[in-house]
Each structure stands twice: as C-alpha cells, then as structure tokens.
C-alpha cells in the first residue's frame, strides 16, 4: 500500500473538517468567519461525501444551505432555524467524493442543546445552467429533475447534541447510485438518499490489481448483504479506501466487468486506524468470467412515491450473503436491468491479519455459480425474492415483481 495515500486517506476526514472552508456563515450571518464559541454555544461543522454511482460519469448537485432546528415539528417556514448558507451555492460532482474525500460545506455557532432536525437544501434547476444534472456513461449532461420538496430541504434522520465550547462534526453521505432513478427514456429524477455517517476517517483500505482498472471496478463494505459503504479504486494505482465506517465486521465485495466476484468475509473495523486487505506488491485480483444480466419489471401500487431497487445476491455455505450488484427500477415503467453479472463462481477469502489473503473458488455458493437470489425492495414496500435465477447459459429477461406495502 502506498504509505502516502494511506496516511492521506486516514487524515482526509479530520483535516478537512477541522479546517472547514469559511466561505459561508450560519444563522444568516454569512460573514466568512464563524463566531467564536462561548460558555453557552458550540459549533456545528458539516461535510459531504459519496459512494460511487451506477452508470454515470458525473452526478452534480448544487448545495444551497444546511438547516438545523431544535424542534422536531418545525416546518420550513417556522422560527428557530439556523442555516449554514453557501454563497454562492456550490455545484458538486458527487463522483469526485470517493476514497474518503470530503467536501466541507461550512460551519456555524449554535446554542448548546439538543437538535432534532437536519436538512440539506439544494438549488432548483433554472436559468441558463443546470444546477442538478447527470452525465450518463459516455454521454452528455442531462437535467436531473428535483422534487419540489427538495427546495425546502432533504430531511436527514439524525438528531445530535451540541455541547458548550465544543464542535460537532457531521458527514453527509449522499448515495448517488440510489438517489438517481430513471424516469422514462433519457429522463432522470432525484430521489435523495442521504445518511449521516461517522466523522472519523477509519475503515478498510487496500489495492486492486491495475489490470482491473479499465473494468468499472467497485469495492463495497456490506453487512448481511446490505451495502453500507462503497468506493472506486484510484484510477492509476488501484488503491481504495472504504471510509467513515462504524466499528464492526464487514464483508468486502469486489466487482469488475468480465471478471468473477471477489469477497473477503468478516473484515473488522476498529474505532481508529484502518484495516488493510492488500498491498501494491500483492493486490486483490479477479479471474476472468463470462457475464450475464437479469431484467424484468417491478409493479408498484398506484401513485407510489418511493423508488424500487432490485438486487442480485449470493450466499456462501460457510460464509456471508452478499449483494453482487443492484439496479433501480424505472419510476415510470418499472423496468430494470442488472447488467454485468458474473457467470463464474465467486472467489472467497476469510479475513486474516496475515497478508496476502488466500482466495479460493467458492464451489458451495448458493444458489450456485451463475445463479442468483433476486430481491426487489423499497422504502415502505414488503421485500419480494425469487431464488435460483439462472444466467449460466442465457440472460434472464422475465424476472418480474409486484410490490405492496
């Protein structure tokens, strides 16, 4: 592992948050320098990060402000809001925020106490430029339509306390992959999926073989088959850093077009430092594989407001269940396609502190090599699943679901 990269990744979160860009003020001040804390006030600092997006070269959002309120019931026009306002509003390509990189949005003094609301406010599209947009892989910039509710602020599920004389650092993880859904041919809709993640720049690091770097490599950290964090390796060195993970055990999944899946089971993350999986001298590599796809339609209730997602999963007989890949269903037609799924059996290694890790072809993967358990889910819907969808000899094209509350 390149020592400079490793140290930089570990320090990225704390350094960027601690130095906080001062181009914005809070509570309508906007003077450029936050007011000092006193015996009755503390400071809130907010930064933005992202996981990789599916099928896009860029996902742009324009951040206007961060809003906080002590009252859980306050509407966007009620009193009691304190704002971190970006002036001018900042257009951010979320896909630049990988491998632990943060974009610090600003900071503001706050009265000491408990805060129940946190909102991220985006600019609306208008005028000559596109405030929010996407660039499909190999395509041109397209409008990313934002719901009207976004202008009052994306509500984030996070309550926090501000102590007198102390600074609270919050990192917002804007999941570009799940936040952008198709809405008919050539149209894209923003359905924001944003969570507050740990501020400490700790997690899982490693290197993938440079021979894989032209194959859309993605590295994710999962628990019980649910993706918690993901990143893409450095395009030159293959180094990666799954940052801002809470302490616990994770299954690391590595995917690349035209290659089998690689899985490292039960990787521990401590409250400090980084767990290393591989080095430049012994990088993670994947064998070649034929690829297939799974496609179908997800039927939702009339007037459904939430998007649906379809995941292709596999389970190891003596190991975890992991999501190999997933895709969003078109919000207009319900159509989905999970492309570039390996036909070959995945490679598996149980985590060991002794490197290099020993991988073996998983002959006991369930439901079998070239077969997947396919699950359709979404907020407010009951998850449905179809077992043993087989792509070993041909693509699966009629894997349909009907979801209900």
Tens digit of each residue's pLDDT (9 = 90 or more) over 347-384 = 999 999 999 999 999 888 999 999 999 999 988 899 99
Q: 298 has which bridge partners? A: 401
Q: What is the pLDDT of residue 127?
A: 63
**For residue 35, what are the CA distances in angstroms to 17, 24, 29, 88, 165?**
17, 12, 9, 20, 12
Q: Give pTM, 2 decimals.
A: 0.84
Q: What is the pLDDT of residue 53?
A: 65
Residues sharing a CB contact under 8 Å with residue 133, sequence separation 6 or more, in sequence order: 58, 60, 125, 141, 142, 143, 144
Q: What is the pLDDT of residue 18?
A: 34
Ordered by where they begin, the domains of the chain are 3-197 (no CATH), 203-402 (2.60.40.1120)
Residue that is written with structure tokens 């819907």 in the block = 381
Can you state the percent helix, strand and coil of the chain, rounding each to 5?
Answer: 10, 50, 45
- Identify the DSSP state of 28: T
Residues sharing a CB contact under 8 Å with residue 315, sequence separation 6 or more, in sequence order: 321, 322, 365, 366, 367, 373
* Residue segments in the chain with a per-residue pLDDT below the cut of 50: 1-35, 37
- The CA radius of gyration of the chain, in Å to the nearest whole number, is 22
Q: How many angstroms separate the CA atoms of 120 and 116, rounded?
A: 14
- For β-strands 194-197 and 167-175, DSSP reports them as antiparallel
Q: What is the pLDDT of residue 340?
A: 95
């Amino acid at each position: 592992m390149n020592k400079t990269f490793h140290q930089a990744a570990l320090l990225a979160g704390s350094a960027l948050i601690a130095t906080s860009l001062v181009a914005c003020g809070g509570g309508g001040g906007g003077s450029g320098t936050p007011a000092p804390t006193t015996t009755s006030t503390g400071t809130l600092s907010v930064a933005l990060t992202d996981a990789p997006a599916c099928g896009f070269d860029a996902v742009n959002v324009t951040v206007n402000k961060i809003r906080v309120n002590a009252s859980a019931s306050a509407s966007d026009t009620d009193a009691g809001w304190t704002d971190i306002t970006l002036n001018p509003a900042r257009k951010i390509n979320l896909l630049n925020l990988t491998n632990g990189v943060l974009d610090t949005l600003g900071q503001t003094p706050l009265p000491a106490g408990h805060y129940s609301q946190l909102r991220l406010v985006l600019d609306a599209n208008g005028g000559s430029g596109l405030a929010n947009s996407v660039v499909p892989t190999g395509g041109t910039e397209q409008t990313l339509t934002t719901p009207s509710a976004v202008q009052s602020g994306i509500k984030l599920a996070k309550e926090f306390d501000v102590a007198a004389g102390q600074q609270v650092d919050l990192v917002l993880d804007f999941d570009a992959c799940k936040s952008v859904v198709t809405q008919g041919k050539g149209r894209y809709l923003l359905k924001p999926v944003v969570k507050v993640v740990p501020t400490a720049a700790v997690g899982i690091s490693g290197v993938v073989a440079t021979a894989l770097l032209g194959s859309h490599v993605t590295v994710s950290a999962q628990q019980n088959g649910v993706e918690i964090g993901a990143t893409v390796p450095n395009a030159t060195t293959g180094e990666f850093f799954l940052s801002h993970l809470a302490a616990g055990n994770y299954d690391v999944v590595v995917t690349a077009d035209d290659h089998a899946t690689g899985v490292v089971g039960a990787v521990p993350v401590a409250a400090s430092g980084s767990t290393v999986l591989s080095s430049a001298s012994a990088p993670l590599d994947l064998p070649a594989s034929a690829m297939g796809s799974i496609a179908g339609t997800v039927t939702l209730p009339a007037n459904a407001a939430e998007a649906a997602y379809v995941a292709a999963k596999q389970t190891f007989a003596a190991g975890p269940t992991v999501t190999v890949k997933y895709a969003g269903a078109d919000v207009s037609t319900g159509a989905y396609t999970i492309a570039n799924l390996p036909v070959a059996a995945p490679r598996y290694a149980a985590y060991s502190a002794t490197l290099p890790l020993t991988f073996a072809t998983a002959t006991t993967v369930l439901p079998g090599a070239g077969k997947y358990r396919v699950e359709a889910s979404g907020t407010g819907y009951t998850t449905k699943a179809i077992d043993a969808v087989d792509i070993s000899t041909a693509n699966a094209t009629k894997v349909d679901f009907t979801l209900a509350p």
